[in-house]
Amino acid sequence: MSAQPDDGPSRSERILEAASRLFAERGYDATSTRAIADAVGLNIATVAYHVGGKPELYRAVMRRAHLAQREVVVAALEQLHTCGSSAEETRAALLGFVDAYLSFCLNRPEVAALWIRRWLSEGADVTEIETEFAGPLVAEVATAVRAVLDRAGIGAGVDVEMLTFTIVWTAHSFGQAGIIDPAGRRVGPRDLAVLDRFRANLHAIVTGVLDQKS
């Protein structure tokens, strides 16, 4: 007898996809296990069998989001490390890193939404998310950026950790909310002119910090 297409792994993936979407849209506190089960056409017992209870499911969703984020960040850091050692090459490479992260936020808006909700204390009873995921990745980025800045002899006084957080905060927020135009309309990143303005402004912030502290 051939295997059914809806086997264990595929069910787990469907559950995680639905949970990621609902946690991003509604938040952890407002999303029930029943809502997730209904979204994939399963009962609560089946969801629990594959992924555990709601806290375990939330951990799995955040781990999945983190791994997607980390893959892009590590690849961008590898590119950053290969840049030339001049100040000009280092600034350009750092802006390339910023662009790579911004593209990730725009291509994976549910990841940014999950983290923004986390910043608003969603799922506060699941306490290890920052310790396991966010904290180590920020530290890795800050260490790598500091190394290339020191190699180029620029940005000696820059608070690289705070600069990293500034990039994360602004990229996530713009990807989710866009801007409000003079007429009071919300304009998002799909508007290419607005996206170009935002990217140019983010670049100016990064280079301005580097130049001020060099």
Domains in the chain: boundaries: 60-213
Predicted pLDDT at 3? 40
Q: What is the pLDDT of residue 214?
A: 56
Q: State the CATH architecture for 60-213.
A: Orthogonal Bundle (1.10)
Length of the chain: 214
21 vs 164: CA distance, rounded Å: 26
Listed residue (41, 11, 36) closest to 23, CA to CA: 36
For residue 204, give Cα distances in angstroms to 146, 207, 212. 19, 5, 12
| Grouped pLDDT means (10 residues each) for the chain, 214 residues | 50 92 94 94 91 92 95 96 95 97 96 94 86 94 96 95 96 96 95 97 96 72
Residue 65: its pLDDT value, please?
A: 95
Distance CA 152, CA 91 (A): 9
Predicted local confidence at residue 7, as pLDDT:
53
